[in-house]
Structure 1
Amino acid sequence: MIRRLLLALALVFVASPAQAYWEFGHETVAAIAYRNVTPATRARIDALLRQQKLLDTPTCPARTIEEASVWPDCVKKLGERFTYAYSWHYQNVDVCKPFDLKSACKDGNCVSAQITRSVKLLEDPKVPERERLQALVNLIHFVGDLHMPLHAGDRGDLGGNRVRGDYGIYGPERFNLHSIWDGPLTERAISTPPTIVRVYSPQERSMIAGGSVEDWSRQSWEISRDYAYASAFNGDACGPVPTGRIKLDQATIEKLVPIAKLQVARGGLRLARLLDEALG
């Protein structure tokens, strides 16, 4: 009985981080952005979020930027009302072919296109407040999504969702390559000192936040190929798909932590730049 109890407790505590990027990762991207926008932009963010009742989603509040960062995932549970937006959270760009964003973003149904659309809606004062508010919460969330590499690169496996895997010594059935990067890897990266939730210098912001949404898409796609898939597929992202479960050992995890951490910081500072451009 003691062994069964210990196993049950282990599964509870190991399984819980699998939702980390859904909450911890997105909230951290939002927190970094909030600290690095101008005071005027921060005031306009707060003013829009004070109208969060316009969203008419009482079970999915958006009172703070952290709550707003997970709103687009929260509303998935509301059924048909938001099903049109499911494909807006990712872009399946094949990591084994030349980078081709247009084919993956037909009709604007991908994360990078929706980032650009949200900025345009947010910066137009003629757009009704409800639509600008929804553009704000979408922008906050989608910039986070774009910087999770397996939302940007794919091998015909739903961004690693079909690749079952183990994280270190833990291998509950719910883990796959995608959920490892979504959850425990990103959670460890964010929690590893030094903190990335801070005010960055102008030089740091300039170095990290430069480029276009397409540039950021390509960069996340490259990280998906060179780190996420390569580390899982015996060093060759485009090699044979391993049979059975892939395993990320501790040495591999330690090499991936700085990559995952940098992606969250990039997401936060790039979100700050877009918010300043749209609201500043």
Structure 2
Amino acid sequence: MNARQSLRNGLMLVAGLWAGQVLAWGQQGTALVGELTQRQLTPEAKAEAGRLLGLIKQTDFAVVANWAGNLDQNPQTKELWQQTKNQRLVIYKADDCTFQLPRDCPDGICSVAAIERNRAALADPKAPNQTRLMALLFLIHHTSDASSPLNNSFKDDKGGYDFPVKAGGKTYNLRQVWDDFLLGSAKLDVKTYADKLQKDLPAADSDNPAQWSQQACQIVRDGGIYPQKAEKKRKLPTHRAQGDDDSGDIDYAAKNIEYNRSGKDYSRGDKLMNEKPRDGAGDGIDGKYMSTFVPVAEKQVQLASARLARLLNAALVAGRPAS
């Protein structure tokens, strides 16, 4: 399959499908990064991005932001998924949160290296349009990955998927909390939420994706995002936590597809804002946890958008073909 076919197949999927588990922030968070980034582009960069997206009849970063994370949902793009699925993480081999290329990104397979490769492709005026378009789409997703704490971790729990937590009387995993519940608690659709977050956007702290990953890892190490009982554990559970029906893996995002589009159906996150702590438990997600980490999640989305906008403002313009 050539690049153009992969792009067409994948984007048809993304345009009509917001459900499904992805490896950064869930669907809403990645779309928020895309929406906020597009609002921060210079006129020159925005024009070039629009030209590239026009090749596949799209206009909005928020719509295409999850393309790279949904490649596994279409048989025609599963080969591309297999080639890129492990480029979404940095698995630190120690809790120093100091990125070391040979140690933490063997063979260049991690989000940091993927960002650098795609940045170079997007900034290359000799690269074909399809190559640059694909690079743009991967950059939106991978920059979200590099700013997502559980995607940049030294823990032995597959980015939180294998760490069970109690929330509202049910058992979930920590990844669901960060992918779905935190940002879902706002009960806002993507564009309205972006309006809120745009009011106090930070400046990009760096143009180095290794530093982005390190900052996200430090939240895992120092920020207390693991419930109190687990903080001293190094080896974490190896079984996958169960969802509402306790019968297997629950595609929680699929149950909230209308929430993601319209804001009419809400994530369980809004209910957890009022959840009282369980006496002596220390392993649950309650209102205090939600109130503490919703601002952290929002800040990481904001940072990701500022970082990506800075990168794209340079790379999109540098790679414009000569007229």
| Matched residue type, 2:159 | G
What fraction of aligned residue pairs are identical, expressed as a percent?
Answer: 26
- The equivalent of 1:37 in structure 2 is 41
Alignment root-mean-square deviation, CA: 2.9
1:13-48 deviations in Å (ceiling 9; x for gaps): xxx898793321011101111111101101110100
Alpha-carbon distance in structure 2 between the residues aligned to 1:49 and 1:194: 23
2:177 maps to 1:180: yes
* Equivalent of 2:305 in 260, 268, 273: 268
Unaligned runs of 5+ in 1: 1-15, 54-61
1:123-146 deviations in Å (ceiling 9; x for gaps): 001111111110000001111111
Segments ≥4 residues shifted beyond 4 Å = 16-20, 189-194, 237-245
* Equivalent of 1:250 in 247, 263, 287: 287
Q: Secondary structure at the match of 1:165?
A: strand
Alpha-carbon distance in structure 2 between the residues aligned to 1:37 and 1:94: 36
* Equivalent of 1:236 in 231, 234, 242: 231
1:229-265 deviations in Å (ceiling 9; x for gaps): 4x32437355575899731221122111111110000
The 8 Å contact of residues 149 and 221 in structure 1, kept in 2 or not, is answered as: yes
Q: How far does residue 225 in structure 1 lie from its aligned partner after superposition?
A: 1.8
Q: How far does residue 95 in structure 1 lie from its aligned partner after superposition?
A: 5.7
Alpha-carbon distance in structure 2 between the residues aligned to 1:21 and 1:193: 15
Q: How far does residue 197 in structure 1 lie from its aligned partner after superposition?
A: 3.3
Q: Secondary structure at the match of 1:166?
A: strand
The 8 Å contact of residues 152 and 220 in structure 1, kept in 2 or not, is answered as: yes
Q: How far does residue 74 in structure 1 lie from its aligned partner after superposition?
A: 1.6
Alpha-carbon distance in structure 1 between the residues aligned to 2:186 and 2:112: 24
- The equivalent of 2:63 in structure 1 is 67
The 8 Å contact of residues 155 and 236 in structure 2, kept in 1 or not, is answered as: no
2:84 maps to 1:85: yes
- The equivalent of 2:127 in structure 1 is 127
Alpha-carbon distance in structure 2 between the residues aligned to 1:221 and 1:25: 18
Alpha-carbon distance in structure 2 between the residues aligned to 1:73 and 1:259: 23
| Matched residue type, 1:131 | T
The 8 Å contact of residues 93 and 152 in structure 1, kept in 2 or not, is answered as: yes
Alpha-carbon distance in structure 2 between the residues aligned to 1:106 and 1:277: 28
Alpha-carbon distance in structure 2 between the residues aligned to 1:133 and 1:194: 26
Tell me: CA distance 1:89–1:34, structure 2 relative to 1, closer, same or farther (3 Å): same
The 8 Å contact of residues 27 and 66 in structure 1, kept in 2 or not, is answered as: yes
Q: Secondary structure at the match of 2:170?
A: coil
Unaligned runs of 5+ in 2: 1-18, 242-282, 318-323
Alpha-carbon distance in structure 2 between the residues aligned to 1:237 and 1:25: 29
* Equivalent of 1:49 in 39, 44, 53: 53
| Matched residue type, 1:210 | S
Tell me: CA distance 1:51–1:211, structure 2 relative to 1, closer, same or farther (3 Å): closer
Which stretch shows the higher mean deviation, 19-28 or 107-116?
19-28
Tell me: CA distance 1:213–1:141, structure 2 relative to 1, closer, same or farther (3 Å): same
Q: How far does residue 65 in structure 1 lie from its aligned partner after superposition?
A: 1.1
Tell me: CA distance 1:170–1:91, structure 2 relative to 1, closer, same or farther (3 Å): farther
Alpha-carbon distance in structure 2 between the residues aligned to 1:250 and 1:164: 18
Q: How far does residue 149 in structure 1 lie from its aligned partner after superposition?
A: 0.5
- The equivalent of 1:99 in structure 2 is 98
* Equivalent of 2:30 in 8, 26, 34: 26
The 8 Å contact of residues 145 and 151 in structure 1, kept in 2 or not, is answered as: yes
Query: TM-score when scaled to structure 1?
Result: 0.78
| Matched residue type, 2:32 | T
